[in-house]
Every structure is written in C-alpha cells, then in structure tokens.
Amino acid sequence: RMTWKQYHRLEDIHGFMDYLAKTYPSIISVKTIGKSYENRDLKILRISDGKSTNKAVFIDGGIHAREWISPATVTYFINQFAENFDVESDDVKNTDWYFLPVVNPDGYEHTHTVDRLWRKNRKPSNVARVCSGTDLNRNFGYRWGGKGASSNPCSETFRGRAAFSEPESKALADFITTSATNFSAYLTYHSYGQYLLYPWGYDNVVPPDYKEMDAVGKAMAQAIQSTGGSTYSVGSSSRLLYPASGGSDDWAKSRGIKYSYTIELSDTGRYGFILPVSYVEPVAKENLAGLRVLLKQIHQE
C-alpha cells in the first residue's frame, strides 16, 4: 500500500503504478519508455479517458536523485487523480496526463542505499571509472554544453560526453518527440528553494512569450500560498537562480511546449534535501492547487 507518510523505494513506486493500471484499466496505463544505465525501468503512467479533444500535460520528478520530495509529490498527484477521477473537475478529465515520477532510478536507489546526497545518474563517465554520473539536467540537447554545465566528470554538474549521452534523458526526450502528442505543458519537479522557474535556463534571456509564463507562474504561486502558506518566487531560472544549460525545461520549451516549468519544492533551506516526511503531504497538497491553476489556463487556450 502506498502512503505519503514515508519516502518510498523505486520498487514500491513502480508497484503502485502497476496497481493503479490494473485497478483502473479504462483510464490508466503504464508503459516502460526505456531502461536506466543499471537496467531499471523508466516507467510512465498515463491517465486519460481517451477523448480526442483533450489537452496533454507531461510531469516528471526525480531527475536529481537526492530530491526525494519530488517523486513523492508526483506520486501524490497520480493518486489524487486516479482515486478521484470520477468526481474530478472537467479540467482534469479533459487532460491526457503523463507522469514519469523517477527519471533517475539508479541515482534514486543509490541515495537509499549508499549516499543520501547523490545527485547525478550512475553511468561511469570513462573506462577508468574515476568518477561516476552525469547531471541529467545538464544533458538535454538544447544549448547543451553552455554556461553552468561542467565538462569535468567529477563535477556535480557534469554535462555528459554529448547531448543525450545518457539513457534516462534520451528516453524522456524520445518519448516526448515520438509520441506524436501535442503537449501543452511540461512540469519537472525538483528541490529545494520554493521557486517556479521558466526558461531560459541556459542564459539570462527570456522567450518571446515569457510574460504569459510569468503571469501563470504568479497565479500558481498565489494558489500555493493560499492553500498551504508556502511562498514561491517566480521568474526565469537563469535570473532567479543561475545560468545552467542542458536542462529539461529548456529542451521542452525549445520543442514548442508552451508552459514549461521547473518547480523547486520545499523547503527554503532549513532541511534542504533531507526534508522530513511530515512535509510531504502539505507540500504535495499546496502544489496540487498550483497545478490546477495551470490546468485551468491550458483549458482556456
């Protein structure tokens, strides 16, 4: 049984997804879109009633291994929509949802078994295996290799040997590219800092339609605050955080997905990555309110 009163291992998360697909076969399906370096499944859960007029939304978590609140929040969303689909709003029902809760399963398991603060994936970067792991959020193929992305395999922000050199980032991008689904939004959950970030991340410039992303981001932050009390700052990630190229959000935006956000969940630094499990439900709940605001916007367009 899945709860949000503990952080779960990968096996539990995948078991939960399979259980939902089995229990609600008319609206939920699970698909393995590829394998990690250590041969773990990259599992996507889709929720949809199959209407052709639906809007499509892609949500992922766990790009960075140690950010445990991220997969916990994404699975909370899944559970909320799956268990209450029949009584959910038209916005939720008129949506094709795609969830990839753990983009980096090898890293995630490594943080449970060996090193709680591991960030990258686990693929060795050279034959000598001096340093392992690529930062998957520096490995995507838009403006790959620019600012804030290291060429040193021992760095925490190692960009990889080439764009999409890693099976995890490649599988995600290939799925979005080849699924022929026209995604209206791409949301990637990280921690920590409480930010709603939009492109560009690669440098301190913004896309032509940034004002719309900014306005929707601010409305989401407002909903988060009034639901759970947390304050989220909204802005372009290069400006609010730092320039960092090769991020999944930039790549999604470059593919024409209009609403592309990186959401840095709680907290603001007291516990950081080691967020006590008592935070999971409040964080996920207030972020569900934020997500619903974005959804409403998408359905107005």
Q: Which residues bind Zn ion (CB under 5 A)?
A: 64, 67, 190
Q: Of 196, 216, 224, which is closest to residue 296 (Cα–Cα)?
A: 216
The span from the CA of 73 to the CA of 230, in Å, is 15
Instruction: Provide, rounded to whole angstroms, the least separation between the CB of residue 296 and Zn ion.
Output: 27
Q: Which is nearer to ligand 0X9, 64 or 170 (CB)?
A: 64
User: Taking CB under 6 A as the rule, which mask of x and - marks residues 229-248 in contact with ligand 0X9?
Assistant: --------x---x--x--x-
Residue 2: which of Zn ion, ligand 0X9, none does it interact with, CB under 5 to 8 A by kind? none
Q: Quick one: angle between helices 280-300 and 210-228, nearest 10? A: 140
Q: Which is nearer to ligand 0X9, 184 or 262 (CB)?
A: 262
- Catalytic, 264? Answer yes
Instruction: Provide, rounded to whole angstroms, the least separation between the CB of residue 64 and ligand 0X9.
Output: 5
Q: How many CA atoms lie within 13 A of 93 on its CB side?
A: 9
Instruction: Provide, rounded to whole angstroms, the least separation between the CB of residue 256 and ligand 0X9.
Output: 16
- Out of 67, 166, 264, 286, pick the active-site residue: 264
The span from the CA of 301 to the CA of 290, in Å, is 18
CB neighbourhood size of 6 (10 A): 11
Those residues whose C-beta lies under 8 Å from the C-beta of residue 127, and which sit 6 or more positions away, are none
Residue 125: which of Zn ion, ligand 0X9, none does it interact with, CB under 5 to 8 A by kind? none
Query: Per CB under 6 A, does 131 bind ligand 0X9?
Result: no
Q: Which is nearer to ligand 0X9, 91 or 249 (CB)?
A: 249
Q: 73 with 283: CB under 8 angstroms?
A: yes
Instruction: Provide, rounded to whole angstroms, the least separation between the CB of residue 32 and ligand 0X9.
Output: 25
Q: Which is nearer to ligand 0X9, 81 or 158 (CB)?
A: 158
- Beta pairing class for 183-191 and 28-35: unpaired
Instruction: Provide, rounded to whole angstroms, the least separation between the CB of residue 137 and ligand 0X9.
Output: 4
By CB neighbour count within 10 A (0-12 exposed, 13-18 middle, 19+ buried), where does 72 fall?
buried
Query: Per CB under 6 A, does 91 bind ligand 0X9?
Result: no
Instruction: Provide, rounded to whole angstroms, the least separation between the CB of residue 273 and Zn ion.
Output: 9
Query: Per CB under 6 A, does 107 bind ligand 0X9?
Result: no
Among 201, 217, 228, 290, binds ligand 0X9 (CB under 6 A): 201
Question: Sheet holding 95-100: strands in order across?
Answer: 28-35, 41-47, 95-100, 55-61, 183-191, 259-265, 195-198, 233-236
Q: 110 with 118: CB under 8 angstroms?
A: yes
- Beta pairing class for 259-265 and 195-198: antiparallel
Query: Per CB under 6 A, does 137 bind ligand 0X9?
Result: yes
Number of residues binding to ligand 0X9, judged by CB under 6 A: 14
Query: Per CB under 6 A, does 250 bind ligand 0X9?
Result: yes
Q: Of 175, 102, 165, which is closest to residue 138 (Cα–Cα)?
A: 165
The span from the CA of 41 to the CA of 62, in Å, is 14
Q: Which is nearer to ligand 0X9, 75 or 104 (CB)?
A: 104
Interface with ligand 0X9 by CB under 6 A: which residues?
Answer: 64, 67, 137, 190, 197, 201, 237, 241, 244, 247, 249-250, 262, 264
- Residues forming the active site: 264
